[in-house]
Amino acid sequence: MSVHTPARRLTTRDIAAMRRRGEPIAMLTAYDAIMAALVESAGIDMILIGDSLGNVVLGHETTLPVTLDDMIRHAAAVKRGTSRALLVCDMPFGSVTDPAQALANAVRVMKETGVEAVKVEGGLAMVPMVEALVAHGIAVIGHIGLTPQAVHQMGGYYMHGKDDASAARLREEAKALEAAGVFALVLECVTPALASEITRALTIPTIGIGSGKDCAGQVLVVNDLIGLNVSPPPGFARPRADVAAIIRGAVGEYVAETKAERQPIPMSRRAE
């Protein structure tokens, strides 16, 4: 019998316990089995299969074209590559427009991917959807501040909570989503002072992205972390590597060697 104990996948209770202990929560995105396995082997707590795959994998300008089928395909791949991290799948644009639709789509995600939770973007309008999912046993993470699915309504990407009205709205949204049953809340591009205030006002963990260092955890797009991009990452992301340069260098060497080591092979003439 093996002396090694199989890895146990983290649960929402584990994440809640980390918040109670004051232990920071580390979260990254992943979109395929290999990247997920590598991320998990480095000790990540949660993996988000983000609809950011529209930008960084599928080549779209925004997350809006990403479909439920896209999310399910990539989330299932991430599941196959992991055994410990808690997995969260984004509900894509248009998939949670009313409680009945949200429930049907979230049930499909849970059944077809094996993830432990879903993430829903939006504030007060999402409360009925969150309540419907939680009532049927689905773990949900909320997401307020900069919500990329609403980029056109918001008029672009920018910091939220700078003025009194925006700050008051975010406080209200955070409290309402906690009351609706989310087990964690993403704060994206929220002013650091407000993100810190909201974190201290909630019992659930906040997961910051571009919102300073005083959230209970942090999430980043893995491509931004490792420098796997063809365009600059957002200003709040500090790449720890330049994987794009490594790939370009390796491929460049391969192309040069292939062309240098082989003589031209003439085409055979057809028999007369």
Distance of CA 214 to the CA centre of its chain: 19
The active-site residue, picked from 121, 188, 253, 272, is 188
Question: What gap in Å lies between CA 78 and CA 72, rounded to an integer?
Answer: 10
Which are the contacts of 119, defined by CB distance < 8 A and separation ≥ 6? 48, 50, 88, 89, 90, 91, 140, 141, 142, 143, 186
Question: What gap in Å lies between CA 187 and CA 206, rounded to an integer?
Answer: 7
Among 117, 123, 108, which Cα is nearest to 138's? 117
Q: Is residue 188 annotated as part of the catalytic site, yes or no?
A: yes
Which one-letter amino acid corresponds to residue 151?
V
Question: What gap in Å lies between CA 175 and CA 201, rounded to an integer?
Answer: 8
Question: What gap in Å lies between CA 227 and CA 245, rounded to an integer?
Answer: 8
Question: What gap in Å lies between CA 182 and CA 198, rounded to an integer?
Answer: 15
- DSSP lists the bridge partners of residue 141 as 119, 184
Among 108, 175, 143, 134, which Cα is nearest to 27's? 143
Question: What gap in Å lies between CA 192 and CA 199, rounded to an integer?
Answer: 10
Instruction: List active site positions.
Output: 188
